[in-house]
Structure 1
Amino acid sequence: MAEPHKIRFGILGCANIARKVSRAILLSNNSTIAAVGSRSLEKATTFAAENGFPKSTKLYGSYEAVIDDDDVDAVYIPLPTSLHLKWATISANRKKHVLIEKPVALNTAELDKILEACESNGVQYMDSTMWMHHPRTMKMNEFLSDLDRFGEIKSIHSVFTYKGDSEFLKNDIRVQPDLDSLGVLGDAGWYCIRAILWSMNYDLPKKVTAIPDPEFNEAGVLLSCSASLTWGDGRSATFYCSFLANHAMDIRVLGSKGDLRVHDFVIPFEEKGASFYTVSGSNWSNLSLGWEPMPSECIVETDLPQEALMAREFSKLVSDIKFEGSKPEMKWVNISRKTQLVIDAVKTSLESGFAAIEL
């Protein structure tokens, strides 16, 4: 069997998350790193050396040089959210395929400009929501789609929290109003909202309402918040995201006949295996001394971490466009835009005294 074409990535910037994704690109069998650029050549050189980049990787002291390199097929953009619009549209207009960190934009209007540039130039777009590519996600979806075991969906609760130390809360990009003004809503909240939409088969809610008592830093950036989503037919969801609470990455999906629980949906406890729990037909045991049946644990193993599977999927789509004449896959465009729409609605509700925002 012929070796797959290797898609050549250029990396814009040396953010900490780029260390993880660059490793993923090199673990995938259909991608490699062709170039990395930073605001200084010295930083790009150090980053490449520390992360084991191929010796052939070109090192640049600017983002423009990466985008202008003819040996780069696609760019990975881990820059602060406030820079995504500029560099994603420049990349797309130079015919580079775009893999972009979340939150993908500060609002839907900005995202639409990015998506328009990608569509008009025929390049593939994907956001870097890694858990979507883990094989566990497909297995969980099989359970949620089983009308006999799970039934009809009723409610979802999603949580993503982690406790930032004093340095993080003071200086991290995610708490700077000029870099990532969405704060925790754009960072951890993105994952919670994506989990809810995924559970609902991407059916947008009718109303989104922020819940009172969010927490902000002195610069007015969100450090914790929560919201409720309703569909107008009895289905509902809530989420909580925070930089101020202990690590938690949970999804709980309740159906009319069963329920699903996962405790590490964003980043699995272990790289090569991930689990979730399901139960159907729950009831009290004799004398109400316990429950029966007990939840069942399903363990899903993988040879590659979820971020490498993401890189492989993105690279396959790019390869199909480049070598097979395929059109860009629009699934990722639609999912990103729906996630951003809900982000916008939560933000609007927060700013309007916790009013219900209709979508």
Structure 2
Amino acid sequence: MADEAPLHSNNPIRFGIVGCAEVARKLARAMCLAPGVTLCAIGSRSIEKAEKFAALIGLSGTQVKLYGSYDQVLDDPCVDAVYLPLPTSLHTQWAVKAAHKKKHLLLEKPAALNVAELDRILEACQSNGVQFMDGTMWLHHPRTLKMKNLLSDSKTFGPINYIHSTSTMSVNPEFLETNIRVRPDLDALGALGDLGWYCIGAILWAKDYQLPSTVQALPDVTTNSAGVILSFTASFHWGISSNNSTATIHCSFFANSSMDLAISGSNASIHTKDFIIPYQEDWASFELSCGAQFADLHIGWNVIPEEVRVDCELPQEASMVKEFSRLVHGIARDGVQPNSKWPEISRKTQLVLDAVKKSIDRGCKLVQL
């Protein structure tokens, strides 16, 4: 059959979605927008759920294959890659299965409940020659690259001294009772996994993925009756070899929506208030302040932060799908090895997340990395 032909530059990467979580609607749209990609299969726990999801995204069974089980998606020879947005407790089981079926894996964050589980996933991907990437969309926005270029300019920005990041949302009582993100059997990491993944990833990104030497949760942790984390704050420190940098993060299900990332160097600072999900799809901005000082008599500042605007051709989730598919094309077409950058980023994020969890479990004690 024509749709079973080997991949080459003229063949789109054929995606299957395993699980019909709400976020999968966003990724299904991204697959329709990204060049060189097609959505060819949707699998849920029942055919009725798959049909309902397809209707929500404007597709029918004549446009995409609909399956009443996850295994059927993985067994479909026409599926090259899978997007897996299942609850975190199910990631290891189904991600390992997908890798063994030679399906390239785009895995929703948090990648796993702990680094031991993630290592099982990454080993399965490596041994089967498939590409792994977690679903951290903001890393693929052109604004992120623009900020990284500024951070890398040591003359303009100087050594990084301090990083602060927040990810908060104010939820309703129903969320706290029924949402999978507060259920220990589905997403036992709660706010640490759902929101903390972004903030931990952001401070590591700013530090070029150099792990901090120490991690400590602050004693303001809130959990539910099942012990799932609902709100927390943590601090991170890098030693003298990394300019004695410090970072703090705050994540909560009880505060007004925030997605702040502020990075201070010796000569400049950048600040964005929407780093996870930009206010607009087609552009995003951040504030850049260079050489800021107080004015005479401390009645103001000598400079006003500059707004740096970055336009984008695709929404960030479509850019992520495009980049993932480019890597898959290279493996299939040119025989290159899977790119190791993305699994390494995920593993370091998971390591630091585990350290925060260990600190919380030990009564907010200092944890050495």
Unmatched segments (≥5 aa) in structure 2: 1-7
The match for 2:246 is 236
- Measure the CA separation in 1 of the matches of 2:50 and 2:189: 28
How far apart in 2 are the matches of 1:139 and 1:5?
31
Q: Does 1:225 align with 2:225?
A: no
Verify the 8 A CA contact 1:272 1:304 in the aligned structure 2.
Answer: yes
3-state SS in 2 of match to 1:261: strand
Residue identity matched to 1:323? R
1:86 aligns with 2:86: no
Is residue 254 from structure 1 mapped to residue 264 from structure 2 by the alignment?
Answer: yes
1:118 corresponds to? 125
Deviates more, 1:137-146 or 1:111-120: 137-146
Tell me which amino acid in the other structure corresponds to 1:337: R
Distance 2:151 2:333 in 1: 36
| 1:19-78 deviation line (CA, Å, top 9, x unaligned) | 001100111011111101001001101111220237331100000000000000001000
Residue 293 of structure 1: how far off its partner (Å):
1.4
Match of 2:180 among 173, 198, 201: 173
Among residues 263, 285, 298, which one is paired with 2:295 in the alignment?
285
Which residue in 2 is equivalent to 1:214?
221
Partner of 2:26: 20
- Could you say if the C-alpha distance between residues 226 and 63 of structure 1 is closer, same or farther in structure 2, counting changes exceeding 3 Å? same
Question: In the alignment, which residue of structure 1 is the partner of 2:206?
Answer: 199
Deviations 1:103-150 (A, max 9, x none): 000000000000000000000000000000000000001111111221
SS at match of 2:71: helix
1:209/1:349 contact within 8 Å kept = yes
Contact 1:4/1:29 (CA < 8 Å) preserved in 2?
A: no
The residue correspondences of 1:324-339 to structure 2 (distance < 5 A) are 324-339=334-349
Letter in 1 for 2:319: L
Matches of 2:342 and 2:326 in 1, distance apart?
Answer: 14
Correspondence 1:320 to 2:330: yes
* Residue 4 of structure 1, CA deviation: 4.3
Shift of 1:16: 0.2
Distance (whole Å) between structure 2 residues aligned to residue 213 and residue 295 of structure 1: 32
Does 1:62 find its partner at 2:69? Answer: yes
1:124/1:317 contact within 8 Å kept: yes
Q: 1:302 aligns with which of 286, 295, 312?
A: 312
Query: Which residues in structure 2 correspond to 1:335-350 (within 5 Å)?
Result: 335-350=345-360
Residue identity in the other structure for 1:298: V
Percent identity, aligned pairs only, is 54
Residues 24 and 311, structure 1, Cα contact 8 Å, conserved in 2: yes
AA aligned to 1:288 is H
Structure 2 residue aligned with 1:311: 321
Cα RMSD for the two superposed structures: 1.1
Give matches, 1:77-156, under 5 Å.
Answer: 77-156=84-163
Task: State the aligned residue count.
Answer: 358
Out of 219-228 and 87-96, give the one that drifted further.
219-228
Give the drift of 1:227: 0.5
Distance 2:22 2:160 in 1: 37
The CA deviation string for residues 184-208 of structure 1, in whole angstroms up to 9 with x for no partner, is 0001000000000000010000110
Distance in 2, Cα, partners of 1:214 & 1:353? 9
The residue type paired with residue 191 of structure 2 is V
**CA offsets 1:149-198 (integer angstroms, 9 cap, x no match):** 21001010000001111111111110000000000000100000000000
1:3 offset after TM fit, Å?
Answer: 6.5
The aligned amino acid for 2:154 is L
Q: TM-score, normalised to structure 1's length?
A: 0.98
Aligned to 1:49: 55
One-letter code aligned to 1:334: E
Matching residue's letter, 1:238? T
Q: Distance in 1 between matches of 2:164 and 2:211?
A: 16
| 1:345 partner letter | A
Q: Given the alignment of the two structures, is residue 74 of structure 1 paired with residue 84 of structure 2, yes or no? A: no
Q: CA deviation at 1:286?
A: 2.7
